């Protein structure tokens, strides 16, 4: 299932966060605990209030808050910190003409503890691969390039799981095989998915260099990675392809 980009990209207002799923139970959503809410303006922002051209949109905040799972059987508490700003909101009268101007604080998370799960990792995923993906989730809001790099490392671990060799011996020397070359060594049954591996490699490479990578780019990588994980560890398409092949060969039921 593709990542729900709306809930992970949309700024939120105090008291009405997006429908972030609880990372502990996966059933409830997170609701802010108002008594824990702290908002402070940055010094660099406060210092420019006296500027002759000052506009409220110049204001920058930091926030901290505790979010609580709405599932009564869970009630997990999640700590979050992030940034905030002020947006202009124009209200219109019945004729469609501007009537009043209001300013609203909006916020973006940078960190959650425990981290949110951006997509559901298949249950049969090996622990070392799962751990690398979770490390990516931890960095998702704060540093998309770093989160992307963790996904690239998860890809290397998937190739290890598939027993794709990492080294060649040439003239008695052990030579490291690049990720790009390793992907070409994928078994024939995964030929249709080589492009998926390469796509994550390119996104991960971007995250490893000074080039800019966005949250959307990371979510692209998650969508592709989830397909690979389901393919390898849940064997969804592979099992269907095998069934189709056997049925066609028998020209009827496989048994």
Nearest to 228 by CA among 206, 255, 251, 201: 201
Through-space distance between the first and last CA atoms of the chain, rounded to whole angstroms = 33
In this model, does residue 114 exceed pLDDT 80? yes
- The range of the structural domain enclosing residue 166 comes to 118-255
Q: Are residues 125 and 108 in the same domain?
A: no
Instruction: Give, in order, the Cα–Cα distances in Å from 41 to each of 84, 86, 89.
Output: 9, 11, 20
Task: Tell me if residue 177 falls in helix, strand or coil.
Answer: coil
Phi, psi at 156, each rounded to 5°: -60, -40
Give the pLDDT confidence of 59-106 residue by residue, as tens digits. 999 999 999 999 999 999 999 999 999 988 766 666 666 666 788 999
Q: Are residues 241 and 153 in the same domain?
A: yes
Among 117, 145, 161, residue at a domain's last position? 117
Specify the pairing of strand 98-113 against strand 173-176.
unpaired
Q: Are residues 57 and 23 in the same domain?
A: yes
21's torsion region: left (phi>0), alpha (psi -120 to 50) or beta? beta
DSSP secondary structure code for residue 115 in this structure: P
Q: Are residues 142 and 222 in the same domain?
A: yes
Q: Are residues 165 and 90 in the same domain?
A: no
Q: Are residues 95 and 204 in the same domain?
A: no
| CB crowding 103-133: b at 16 or more within 10 Å, else e | eebbbebeebeebbbbbebbeebeeebbebb
The structural domain count of the chain equals 2
Q: Are residues 89 and 11 in the same domain?
A: yes
Give the pLDDT confidence of 179-215 residue by residue, as tens digits. 999 999 999 988 888 999 999 998 887 755 656 788 9
Cis peptide before 114 (omega within 30 of 0): yes
Q: Are residues 99 and 157 in the same domain?
A: no
Q: Are residues 66 and 181 in the same domain?
A: no
Among 84, 117, 150, residue at a domain's last position? 117
Cβ 136 vs Cβ 111: under 8 Å: no
Q: Are residues 150 and 81 in the same domain?
A: no
Q: Are residues 195 and 215 in the same domain?
A: yes
In this model, does residue 241 exceed pLDDT 60? no
Q: Are residues 130 and 240 in the same domain?
A: yes
**What is the pTM assigned to this prediction?**
0.85
In this model, does residue 29 exceed pLDDT 60? yes
Among 74, 93, 117, residue at a domain's last position? 117
In this model, does residue 238 exceed pLDDT 50? yes
């Amino acid at each position: 299932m593709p990542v729900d980009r709306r809930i992970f990209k949309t700024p939120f207002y105090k008291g009405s966060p997006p429908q972030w799923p609880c990372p502990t139970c996966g059933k409830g959503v997170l609701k802010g605990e108002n008594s824990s809410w702290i908002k402070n303006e940055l010094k660099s922002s406060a210092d420019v209030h006296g500027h002759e051209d000052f506009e409220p949109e110049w204001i920058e905040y930091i926030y901290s808050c505790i979010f609580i799972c709405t599932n009564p059987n869970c009630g997990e508490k999640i700590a979050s910190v992030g940034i905030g700003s002020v947006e202009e909101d124009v209200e219109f009268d019945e004729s469609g003409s501007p009537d009043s101007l209001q300013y609203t604080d909006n916020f973006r998370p940078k960190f959650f503890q425990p981290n949110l799960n951006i997509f559901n990792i298949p249950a049969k995923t090996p622990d070392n691969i799962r751990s690398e993906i979770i490390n990516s989730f931890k960095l998702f809001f704060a540093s998309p390039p770093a989160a992307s790099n963790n996904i690239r490392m998860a890809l290397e671990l998937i190739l290890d799981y598939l027993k794709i060799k990492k080294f060649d011996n040439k003239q008695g020397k052990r030579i490291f095989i690049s990720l790009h070359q390793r992907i070409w060594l994928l078994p024939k049954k995964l030929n249709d998915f080589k492009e998926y591996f390469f796509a994550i490699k390119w996104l991960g490479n971007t995250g490893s260099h000074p080039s800019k990578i966005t949250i959307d780019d990371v979510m692209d990588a998650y969508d592709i990675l989830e397909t690979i994980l389901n393919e390898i560890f849940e064997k969804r398409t592979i099992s269907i392809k095998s069934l189709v092949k056997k049925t066609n060969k028998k020209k009827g039921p496989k048994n």
